[in-house]
Structure 1
Amino acid sequence: MRLPLRSSAGAIAAAIGLLLTAISPVAAAAQTPKVLVIGIDGLLVSKIAEAKAPTLQGLQRTGTDARSLLYAGPMAATSSGPGWSTILTGTWPDQHGVKENSFTGNRLAEHPDWLSRVEAADPSRDTWAAMDWKPIGDRIIGGKLDTKIVLDGDRDGYVAHDATIVERAEAHLREDKADASFVYLGQQDIVGHNKGAASPEYLAEIAKVDGYVKRLLDAVAARATRSAEKWLVMITTDHGHTPGGGHGGASLDERSTFVLATGDGVPAAKPTTTRLVDAAHTALTHLGVTPDAKLAGRSLFAPVTDAFEGARLKPAQTEQIPASVLGWTQELPGGWSVDNAAMPAGGVPEWRGWTLTSDAFWSLTQGGQNRETFVRGRGVIAVADSDEWADTADATGKKFDSTLWTPADTGTGSRLKVDLTHYYRQEGGQLGQLLLQVDGGTPAEVRKWTADTTGGRESVTVQLPSGAKTARIGLRLSGVNNWYWAVDEVSVTRQP
């Protein structure tokens, strides 16, 4: 059945205000953490601004509005199976094994959903989930939750089931302990498929979802025990939609995702380093459940320490990329440098040597070459891309040869520990090298790569010569029209 939507501006502001009301230090000491995750299938976040969606728009202004991009093939399709597996388990498709909606070859048994992790850590907590895309309940969310409501929207239709889920979730959020809850709504995706994200029907469905979100926030605000609780509410989606309808491919609209957070102590912020795996990690952290090493995410509110994030990115110079996509610079943060002495003249200027760039910009240079799969990179990344650089006649047959140098380390200790998140794709005679330079001397190779990496975190420990005062690390990529090397969150520390 269709339930009425309550949408006056004053009531919406009041609901958001109640949810975000500061708790006094005395009360805060006794606060019980609670988490609600609202999953809206196929919601293209850029369309919220065009819809009559005062609740979501208000939360974007007052909460943490984190937007990011998904992977694409060959890692996984931008479809619901991989998307909800990623959101709920906090792991990427190369971990949980879901690449499309058949779930063939999945490893979900090794990567439980965050609600099941809460239940396992403390069975006294109330875990609750309701969904009407049946595979979420049958495949992704475990069977030991206190309450799991699985409806079949594909068989029965999503309109009535979405309304039922919201009605039951309202009662649950008002009356139950509601320690860890997940609410899924599926009709937005159906409208996207049938009418397209550019349609008025798609905007009308966002308006309906906006009313549903308000009702859930009102239910939280109306709890009798609200003042003794610390709430975190996150709203998210599994993928976007094309203007004409559909998803599964590698366009920015299809890869578009977001995590919109509100609650006690949640700041008004627009972080640029969030990834979709962070929703599960943030939920567990808020509830005091220690995420294990299998999780790929981090808290949505973790401080950003990566030096690359201060870069001022600019529009394309020669690449055919819309000016609205800011994405590259060769101005480096303090202490960092690039040695392009061995680089020939010519080539695509955006990629002449190491460049700081964004996922959106880099992946738009050319599709079908796996650039979309460096999902473990966050925000601004450093890229050496000999393939893109060579896309001009004056670079044909010339050798790309560039080294990115870290700041000099002047600490004490006999070793350097180098940590980096990277994605190295090998072709032909290409060579990726980790170089060490001590006290300004001749650089020496300490590690090399001649086979693909999968985009993970890697550590290398380098022994320093006796008496070394300063040391720095270089990342050198060389080759003739080969592939690329992308790196992020590089840290160098001196150890005993």
Structure 2
Amino acid sequence: MTDNSLVGKRLWNYPDFLARAFYQDQSTRTIATASWPVLADPHGLGPIIHPRMEQQFAGLHNVIVRDGETLGYERIDAEIASIATAALRQKGFDAGFVYFGEIDDAGHIFGLAGDEYRDAIRRVDTHVKKVLSEVSRRSDELGEDWLVVITTDHGHLDEGGHGGTTDRERESWIITWSPHRELPEWPEEIAPHELAELMLVERRTLR
């Protein structure tokens, strides 16, 4: 699998982080909410995140997808932020995946030097702050132990475009944040397939 067409995919052979978290502890409640349908919509090219219908029927897994490709990521990312914060205000979840697509879309179309890219970063930053505010509230009021991991799936060239094999396009970054707990000491370089395992190890230490 080398591009977003997902040709040659073997996704069922590679469980996502939420699936692995559930099978680590089958009382785990998970949620996936995304503005790019390929990530979680079982009727499209994906899904990259397994639907796990039995867990959905049991109320242990929730999948909420919106179509930023068709309706625009600026609008749909705002909906995703509201969905994630609403879930946190209600019963919450033990492991979650939240995807905002506007920065990626702006980088592909406009490149990294223009106002469009910076404006997209500011808007998504606002969405992230909204979600983290609810995480902090739950941690303070309910005594929950949270670790938030923020990353992206690839880098960009300054001029934008889509696809490529340069180091800048293949590299990414990781940010960890927690309201109270000590942050993990992870290696400076992490291969994409290693991140889920690192998070699962940390999850075993959460209260």
Cα distance in 1 for residues equivalent to 2:31 and 2:130: 17
1:125 matched to 2:28? The reply is yes
Which aligned pairs between 1:473-492 and structure 2 lie closer than 5 A?
A: none
SS at match of 1:125: coil
Deviations 1:353-412 (A, max 9, x none): xxxxxxxxxxxxxxxxxxxxxxxxxxxxxxxxxxxxxxxxxxxxxxxxxxxxxxxxxxxx
Deviations 1:84-117 (A, max 9, x none): xxxxxxxxxxxxxx22222222211111111012
TM-score (normalised: structure 2): 0.83
Q: Shift of residue 176 of structure 1?
A: 2.1
The residue that corresponds to 1:237 in the other structure is 152
Return closer, same or farther for 1:110/1:186 CA change in 2, 3 Å cut-off. same
Cα distance in 2 for residues equivalent to 1:105 and 1:199: 35
The residue that corresponds to 1:221 in the other structure is 136
Which aligned pairs between 1:154-193 and structure 2 lie closer than 5 A?
A: 154-193=69-108
1:272 matched to 2:180? The reply is no
In structure 1, give the amino acid aligned to 2:183. V
1:110 matched to 2:13? The reply is yes
Question: Which is higher, the Rg of structure 1 or of structure 2?
Answer: 1
TM-score (normalised: structure 1): 0.36
Which aligned pairs between 1:6-405 and structure 2 lie closer than 5 A?
A: 98-137=1-40, 138=42, 139-144=47-52, 145=56, 146-223=61-138, 226=141, 228-263=143-178, 264-266=181-183, 271-288=187-204
Cα distance in 1 for residues equivalent to 2:139 and 2:113: 42
Cα distance in 2 for residues equivalent to 1:212 and 1:240: 21
SS at match of 2:192: coil
Taking every aligned residue pair, what percent have the same amino acid on both sides?
A: 38
Cα distance in 1 for residues equivalent to 2:16 and 2:84: 19
Deviations 1:146-199 (A, max 9, x none): 100111222222121100000110111233231001000111122112211111
SS at match of 1:102: coil
Return closer, same or farther for 1:226/1:251 CA change in 2, 3 Å cut-off. farther
Q: Name whichever structure is richer in helix by fraction.
A: 2
SS at match of 2:155: coil
The 4+ residue runs of structure 1 with deviation greater than 4 A are: 224-227
SS at match of 1:191: helix
Return closer, same or farther for 1:253/1:226 CA change in 2, 3 Å cut-off. farther
Cα distance in 2 for residues equivalent to 1:239 and 1:273: 14
On the 8 A contact 2:35/2:68 being kept in 1, the answer is: yes
SS at match of 1:229: coil
SS at match of 1:128: strand
Q: Shift of residue 225 of structure 1?
A: 6.3
SS at match of 1:230: coil
Cα distance in 1 for residues equivalent to 2:109 and 2:5: 21
Name structure 2 gaps, 5 residues minimum: none
The two structures, once aligned, show a CA RMSD in angstroms of 2.1
Name structure 1 gaps, 5 residues minimum: 1-97, 290-496
Deviations 1:105-150 (A, max 9, x none): 2211111111012223333221001012111113211112510011
On the 8 A contact 1:234/1:279 being kept in 2, the answer is: no
SS at match of 2:138: coil
Cα distance in 2 for residues equivalent to 1:155 and 1:140: 19
Deviations 1:392-449 (A, max 9, x none): xxxxxxxxxxxxxxxxxxxxxxxxxxxxxxxxxxxxxxxxxxxxxxxxxxxxxxxxxx
Count of aligned positions: 191
On the 8 A contact 1:175/1:223 being kept in 2, the answer is: no
